[in-house]
Amino acid sequence: MTDKTMPALRFRGFYDAWEQRKFSEVLEYSVSNNTLSRANLNYDHGEIKNIHYGDILVNFDSIVDVNQPNVPYVTDGNPYDFTIQLLQNGDVIIADTAEDETAGKVIEVTGITDNYAVSGLHTIVGRPNIKFAYKYLGYYLNAPYYHNTLLPLMQGIKVLSLSKSNIAKTVVRFPKNVDEQTSIGVFFNRLDNNITQNERKIDLLKQLKQAYLQQIFSQELRFAGFSDDWKHRKLGDVFKYEQPTKYIVKSTEYDEKFDTPVLTAGKSFVLGYTNEITGIKNATVENPVVIFDDFTTGSHCVDFPFKIKSSAMKLLSLSDYADNFYFMFNTLKNIKYVPQSHERHWISKFSEFEICKPTVAEQEKIGSLFKQLDNLITLNQQKLDLLKKQKQAYLQKMFI
């Protein structure tokens, strides 16, 4: 049974109704924050770690060990100058200001033994005045059910903020049994560890790919058996382009239930899915294309049918189908160019760039290597996305 006294999903053996208390009854504002800016912080040395609100919003998970290398030090900070601001394990820190509804994001502090940590600008420190299992509050206060209660309390237009008095009125729910709190905290902490491990794996794979790109395209590293000189060619001779006009989506009412992805050459790549059945670019694994943003020069390899959102791109395909597509695509991606103005770049700039082109046999070897690396990165990214979705689903079901 699901009601406001019990979550939809619980660990076996726990059946009691959850406690319901005002924030001000279970957490107190007895620790003040400082007003230090980034200029007063460093990542190399110091006696005091500082929790910056920007890190809470962008860089930190729900539970933060202050010994992490991404927690900065106060430059020339003396603990005696921060006596009433020193944090303890189990303190929660709220980012009270943000440009969007992430205002109110929380971390719970751990890792304080014989070291020191303080909380910085635009933060509110809550110190529990009753016993909570470590890590429970960090996850509960970030769960959708609680965070949604903060949304009507946010003030501002361009920048949203939360006041101590408004937060104090919110309701905190928790199981009476500390063992259940512990089980919840441990469960989500393991999920976070899995997510972090997968993020690191993806980062390492991307770093490996970058190292190969640098060494292979500079010809410092070559496959055994290949020694022929690489030939100079213009990109405009390697790729032919197609204007995207006939593939532009007519309606932006996207839905995950529809079949055809709508793409952009930017970071988001897939904007949504359309049910339009005409004007589809039928790229395939055998005949992939590059979508090239004519203004930002961003690009993606596409090997499935798609439509696009904007005319501000070119669709590139090989001029000579004997060439290896993945080699040529990575040649394009390896070009170091930063747009200096808002203008189209393919015809005027990129098509004139010279690249070095090995024999088809060597292209095949290199292209196969990069395709395998890209496939590994994609598979691990899909696994990471699934873990994050699972975490969000559990946050929805395991808290009230």
Under CATH, domain 231-357 is a member of which superfamily?
DNA methylase specificity domains (3.90.220.20)
pLDDT at 25: 98
* Predicted TM-score (pTM) above 0.75: yes
The predicted-structure confidence for 67-109, as pLDDT tens digits, reads as follows: 999 999 999 999 999 999 999 999 999 999 999 999 999 999 9
pLDDT at 328 over 50: yes
Q: What percent of the chain has pLDDT over 90?
A: 96
- Give domain 176-226+359-399's CATH superfamily: Bipartite methylase S protein (1.10.287.1120)
18-174 against 231-357: fold identical: yes
Tens of pLDDT, residue by residue over 268-277, are 899 999 999 9
| pLDDT surpassing 90 at residue 347 | yes
Q: For residue range 131-172, what is the model confidence (pLDDT) as tens digits?
A: 999 999 999 999 999 999 999 999 999 999 999 999 999 999
Residue 2 pLDDT grade (very low, low, confident, very high; cuts 50, 70, 90): very low
- pLDDT band for 266, please (50, 70, 90 cuts): confident
The domain locations on the chain are 18-174, 176-226+359-399, 231-357
SS (H, E, C) the chain: CCECCECCCCCCCCCCCCEEEEHHHHEECCCCCCCCCHHHEECCCCCEEEECHHHHHHCCCCEEECCCCCCCEECCCCHHHHHHHCCCCCCEEEECEECCCCCCCEEEEECCCCCEEEECCCEEEEEECCCCCCCHHHHHCCCHHHHHHHHHHCECCCCEECCHHHHHCCEEEECCCHHHHHHHHHHHHHHHHHHHHHHHHHHHHHHHHHHHHHHHHCCCCCCCCCCCCCEEEEHHHHEEEECCHHHECCCCCCCCCCCEEEECCCCCCEEEEECCCCCCECCCCCCCEEEEECCCCCEEEECCCEEECCCCEEEEEECCCCCCHHHHHHHHHCCCCCCCCCCCCCCCCHHHCEEEECCHHHHHHHHHHHHHHHHHHHHHHHHHHHHHHHHHHHHHHHCC
18-174 has CATH 3.40.50.10330 classification:
no
Average of per-residue pLDDT across 18-31? 97
Q: How confident is the model at residue 3 (pLDDT cuts 50, 70, 90)?
A: low
Q: What is the pLDDT of residue 1?
A: 35
Average pLDDT, whole number, for the chain? 96
Average of per-residue pLDDT across 2-9 = 80
pLDDT at site 375: 95
Average pLDDT over residues 193-219: 96
How large a percentage of the chain has pLDDT more than 70?
A: 99
pLDDT tens digit string along 359-368?
Answer: 999 999 999 9
What pLDDT score does 342 carry? 86
